[in-house]
Amino acid sequence: MRAWWEEVLHIVTGRVSRHDDLPDLRGLDTRRVALEKTHFLVNDRERRGDERRAYVMRHVASTRHDDATVTVSSNGRGVGSLPPEAAVSIAPLLRRIGGAAIINGAGSLPGSIRLWVDLPTSAALGEFAQR
């Protein structure tokens, strides 16, 4: 999906309409985390290379099975979600700063289909949320 389509979706859903309006967490202390559910959503071109990509992580409304889902998208297209153990610590802090933020995508490891992101540490995100 193109960035303009993502903006249309955000306008319709009532979320942030431009990345300029999202908090940018790429300068915070991070840890590398493997995304889940990437094998169904991402093509080979997205996996190739290890250059940094701007991804948007977004807290998703709670369900009866999961109260801390955090999805990750690139150009409006879902590329995966944080593993539950990472999402549990990040979701409340992400909600505090508006529910969505920009992070770095880190590509995949050689021979793997799983995408990785540079996820801010809970401590760094907590300090950021207090500003």
The predicted-structure confidence for 4-58, as pLDDT tens digits, reads as follows: 555 566 556 645 445 667 899 999 999 999 999 876 555 566 666 556 688 999 9
Q: What whole-number distance in Å separates Cα of residue 72 and Cα of residue 6?
A: 13
Q: pLDDT tens digits, residue range 76-116?
A: 778 889 999 999 999 999 989 989 999 998 888 777 778 89
22-130 in CATH: which number? 3.30.70.2330
Average pLDDT of span 113-124: 91
Residue type, 117: V
Task: Identify the burial level of 74 via C-beta atoms within 10 angstroms of its C-beta, where 0-12 means exposed, 13-18 middle and 19 or more buried.
Answer: buried
Three-state DSSP class for residue 129? helix
pLDDT at 31: 95
User: Which of 54, 52, 51, 47 lies closest to 112, judged by CA?
Assistant: 47
Does residue 1 have a pLDDT over 50? no
pLDDT at 6: 54
What is the pLDDT, as a whole number, of residue 39?
Answer: 64
Half-sphere exposure of 102 (CA within 13 A, CB side): 14
